[in-house]
Amino acid sequence: MNKLYFKYGVMGCSKTASALMCKFNYEQQGFKVLLLKSLIDSRNMRDNEIIVHSRIGLESKCIAFAKNDNLVEIFNQKLKEQEYNVIMVDECQFATEAQIEQLKELSLKVPVLCYGLLTDFRTRLFEGSKRLIELADKLEELKSVCKCGRKASVNARFVDGKLNTVGDVVAIENQNNVSYQTMCYACYNELKKLQ
């Protein structure tokens, strides 16, 4: 059924792996899937192509889009090359509000499945995620656990091994000594108090 889906969770909860398994399932049934990803996360490039890559090793080539790209136009351009029955978007939190509205428009024609983070390292909604909450026909949380055993809900950012609560919203892991750890809010709050 043609709907806009938002599947969200913290880092490491298998969002990308879930997207790639879902893509495989659609393709196994003969559907053509247009896989999209924001250029903001360009860590995985191979032969000048952006790759959607999961932590467990699944991967697929995709079409990368920039902040100023119109996703309806990209879809219509790709339709000239081949018929697509499904759209999937990885790292959808990096899409703009306008791009999410374009995905909603596209969901009137084909199913659109978006996978991404809900909140940033400051525990605030990403622009794309906020608009998805407002427009998605179906929301689904992909859960993960904190090291204490509670449900993880925070993407804590560390710079040089220290908790970081200020700075640019986007900082790619493994660049400039940036790392992330998912944790429950209680553990995050305790760690903030120690800083």
Which residue of the set 27, 73, 81, 91 is catalytic? 91
Kind and range of the H or E element at 178? strand 178-183
- C-alpha distances out from residue 94 to 81, 136, 139, 145, Å: 26, 16, 17, 24
Q: Is 140 a catalytic residue?
A: no
Q: Which of 90, 87, 117 is nearest to 103 (CA)?
A: 87
Q: Which of 130, 126, 108, 137 is nearest to 5 (CA)?
A: 137
Q: How far apart are CA 132 and CA 4, in angstroms?
A: 8
Residues with active-site annotation: 91
